[in-house]
Every structure is written in C-alpha cells, then in structure tokens.
Amino acid sequence: MGKENFVEQIADIDADFPQWYTDVVLKTELVDYGPVKGTMVIRPYGYAVWENIQAELDARFKATGHKNAYFPLLIPMSFFTKEAEHVEGFAPEVAVVTHAGGEELSEPLAIRPTSETIFGSMYSKWLQSYRDLPIMINQWCNVMRWEKTTRPFLRTSEFLWQEGHTAHATEEEALGETMKMLGVYKEFAENVLAIPVICGRKTEKEKFAGAVATFGMEAMMKDGKSLQAGTSHYLGQNFAKSFDIKFLDKDGSQKYAYTSSWGVSTRLIGAIIMAHGDRRGLVLPPKVAPVQAVIIPIAAKKDGVIEKCLEIKAELEKMSIRVEFDDSDASPGWKFNEWEMKGVPLRIEVGPRDIENGKAVIFRRDTCNKEEYSLDGIADTVKGLLDVVQKDMLEAARARRDGRIVYAKDMKGILDGVEGGNFVKAGWCGCRECEDKVKAETAATARVFAEGETAETCAICGKKAEHVIIFARAY
C-alpha cells in the first residue's frame, strides 16, 4: 500500500475543509459521536491531548494563586433569573432535569451551562470580611449547552472545560485578575499550543451574558476563520448584587465584591487541529502530543533492528519523552501514513544500514523533512528537535496568520477580505446597526477590538470611527 492510499481517506483540505476536519477527528480516533445527538465521546488519543492541556494550564493557575474545587452540576432554575442578562443568554440553551428518584421535582434543575450563579451563591455564604478576599477558585468539569448544529470539539451539547471564578475587594483588582488570566491564556496558547492569538475586548453584542466586559482571544484557523479559544470576563458587581456577595470592609461598611470569570474548553483541541493540520492529517505541537516520537523499524526481521529500536526507546523514556515503538505487522509505509495522520511530531526510522552507519533517519511532521542523525546521543537530539518543532510551529502559524490580516475601508473591503479567508481590520463607529450589517452581508462577526489602533471613519456607515475592530467569520 502506497502513501497516497491512506491520505485518500481524508478529504482534501483545500477543497473541503469541513469534511477534512470531520475525517481527521474521526479517523485519528480523537473523538467519536455519542449516542445522543450533539454529544461526543473523547477517545483515549483525544483525551490524552486534553490531559496535557490540563497539566500545563493547571500548573499556571496554581502558580497564580488559584485553587481547584468542585461545585454541583445541577443549578436551581431560579438562580438564572437573578441576573437579567445572564438568563436571557443562557436559558434557551439549558438542559433541564424535571424528574429524579422516580418523582417530579418541585423545582426544575438546570445542568450547568456555566457556573457564575452557583459560585455566586456559595461565595455569598463564605464571604464575611475583607480578610477573606480575594477568593480565587477554579474548577475542571463538564458543562452543557444545547446546540442546534454541533461539531466535535467545536460545538457539542456537552463539553469539558475549566472555569475560574474570583471575587475581589476592588474593581481594580478584579479587572487586574481578568487581564492577568487573559495573559495566562495567551502565553499558554502560544508556547504550548503553538497558536498565535489576538487578544482584546469584545463588543457589547458579543460579550458574555452578565459581564461588564468580555476579553477574548482569537486564533486563525487554516481556512482563515477565527476560533474563540478562550475568554476572560470582568463581571463588575453584577453577580455580586444578584447573589449578595458582600463583605465587611476595613472601614466598617458592607460592600459588594467585584468578580471575574474565565474559561477555556475542549474547543482548544479543535483549534490545534485547524491551526496546524495539513493534507496528511493532524500536526500536533510536541507539548500536547500524546506521542512525541514514534520509532519505526525498517526491515524489522534483520538481526539487531528490534533491539536497537528498544534501546532508543529506553533512552528517550529516560528523558521523559513520550515515545512509541511500532512493532506491528504492518509495512513501514503503512505505519508512516498512520503516524503522520495522527500528527506525531517526530518519526525515527531505524534500519540495518542505519545501525551499521550509527545513524537514524528522523522525519519532522511539521515540515515533512527527513534528515539523518547520529545514534550517539539520540535522546538529546530528539529532545532538541522537539523544542525546535514547538517553536517553528508557532512561527509558521504566526507567519500564516500575519499574511492574512487585511485592512478594509468600506463594506466591499470587508466582504472581499473575509471571502478571501482573512481577518479584516476596519474602523467602526461603535453602533450596533453597523455591526449587524456586517454580519448580515458578510457572515463575519466582530471578534475583538484591535487595541491601540485607530481609524478615521467607520467602514460601514462612513461616520467618525471610534474603534478599529477585527471582523472575521468564526467557529
């Protein structure tokens, strides 16, 4: 079986990006469809990516003073009505438990779509004095938002995420926390996922239901569309007032706290796939790849090949490199295809001639280049290459994205820009009508403000521009 045989199983990335995505997530066994419409099973290969994401993020959350906890899945429906914008935003998507233990419940219960309300109700109980502040808690959990159109990782009725919820004595501190966590996300996206992101404030229309301000990070996918990869919300005193989160301040008076919340989800796996994947399948950044290097024997039946492969595997494991040795019966070519499709960053080919020459061939999944390396110190070489791949993937993604950011002066420019698969920067007067008009005519939405940039006129109505905004079609 030749190489092309395998690649043909995946739709052409240039011709049909959505089908390519579906093929890749299913065939690499990242995910499968669950029995209930809109649900997904995250299979071991996909879940291992999530575990790596969790480990990296969790260390960052703890280093910034947060602790993990677990709050209940079920929230009284009445909680949602306490914050007016919040209920409007989430009520239509909620899944509702009406019966339990063989009886009808006296009050229906929502499966959490997000947990501001239940954190709020507990913080109200726990918070007494300014000495108790700040409260900085994160939780890793499942959430549910009933969606009409679903796609694995990108939009499913249930997904996994983390949600941080903090309470502070002052606006300044809460806003500081909001921005700090946005910064943590950005550093993580770039250094761990190798995805460059643009961070900024969201418009009123696009902000979180109940927030004073939402800050998002937007990542460009290979089709030029944007994916919101994480959000950090400054909630002001909105939830504090709805849930009575008050404290006795130093001056002896009762004050409402200021709160924030921030989250990223298994959507990030979709971002990795679409930011880096190519016609052969996945391309995984080393830091989250479940398998960082695969060793493939060439002419495995020849004396000493298996032994040498196992020796190399042991050396790599000693350096904590996640390595697999593929000693299955399949042909080397078949294995090449399989592990390329699965996005393993490095492939080490070891054959009798290589051993004789004291060398091995290493294939880089990101560039698809092969090179020979000495078997002496192979573990150090692999470690070094993984670092190079990690950095190069970020730079390649950044170059791709930067080449697809355009400026528009009018509606035609916006339309042409997004049609061409670009992020489009344009002046905006700030009015909702103009924002809606862009969406209606181009299917693009306002992603984030281009912080610090200015424009003369609104590209939509021609009036004075108040902001520069980034428009893009989005997942």
Chain contacts with its own copies (rule: CB under 8 A)? 32, 34-36, 39-44, 46-48, 50-51, 67-76, 79, 91-102, 108-109, 111, 118, 121-122, 125-126, 137, 141-142, 144, 146-148, 157-158, 160
- 14: tokens are 């240039």
Is the Cβ–Cβ distance between 80 and 95 less than 8 Å? Answer: no
Closest approach of its own copies to the CB of residue 85, in Å: 18
- Strands 423-428 and 405-408 turn out to be parallel
Closest approach of its own copies to the CB of residue 53, in Å: 13
165 vs 365, beta carbon nearer its own copies: 165
- 166: tokens are 């903090």
Closest approach of its own copies to the CB of residue 393, in Å: 25
What's the chain's length in residues?
A: 475
Using the Cα atoms of residue 109, residue 115, residue 116 and residue 122 in order, give the sign of their dihedral: positive
7 vs 91, beta carbon nearer its own copies: 91
Closest approach of its own copies to the CB of residue 145, in Å: 9
122 vs 472, beta carbon nearer its own copies: 122
Q: What is the DSSP string of 416-433?
A: HHHHTT-EEEEEE---HH
68 vs 320, beta carbon nearer its own copies: 68
Closest approach of its own copies to the CB of residue 29, in Å: 9
94 vs 221, beta carbon nearer its own copies: 94
266 vs 442, beta carbon nearer its own copies: 266
Is the Cβ–Cβ distance between 291 and 342 less than 8 Å? Answer: yes
76 vs 176, beta carbon nearer its own copies: 76
Query: What is the chain's alpha carbon radius of gyration, rounded to the nearest angstrom?
Result: 25
- 21: tokens are 């995505």
How far, in Å, CA of 295 to CA of 236, rounded? 53
57 vs 175, beta carbon nearer its own copies: 57
Is the Cβ–Cβ distance between 207 and 228 less than 8 Å? Answer: no
30 vs 424, beta carbon nearer its own copies: 30
Q: What is the DSSP string of 326-387?
A: --SSS-HHHHHHHHHHTT-SEEEEE-HHHHHHTEEEEEETTTTEEEEEESTTHHHHHHHHHH
For 207, half-sphere exposure in the C-beta direction (CA atoms, 13 angstrom radius) is 20
Q: Tell me which H or E stretch contains 121.
A: helix 116-126
How far, in Å, CA of 428 to CA of 446, rounded? 10
Closest approach of its own copies to the CB of residue 329, in Å: 10
Closest approach of its own copies to the CB of residue 197, in Å: 25
Among residues 41, 6, 236, which one has the least CA distance to residue 120?
236
199 vs 245, beta carbon nearer its own copies: 245
Residue 159 bridge partners (DSSP): 143
Closest approach of its own copies to the CB of residue 78, in Å: 9
Q: What amino acid occupies position 100?
A: A
- Strands 293-297 and 323-325 turn out to be parallel
Closest approach of its own copies to the CB of residue 97, in Å: 5
Closest approach of its own copies to the CB of residue 100, in Å: 4
Closest approach of its own copies to the CB of residue 92, in Å: 5
User: Phi, psi at residue 183, to the nearest 5°?
Assistant: -65, -40
149 vs 253, beta carbon nearer its own copies: 149
Q: Tell me which H or E stretch contains 395.
A: helix 378-402
100 vs 314, beta carbon nearer its own copies: 100
Closest approach of its own copies to the CB of residue 469, in Å: 31
Give the CA angle between residues 161, 115, 447 to the nearest 5°: 60
HEC profile of 159-208: EEEEEEEEEECCHHHHHHHHHHHHHHHHHHHHHCCCCCEEEEECCCCCCC
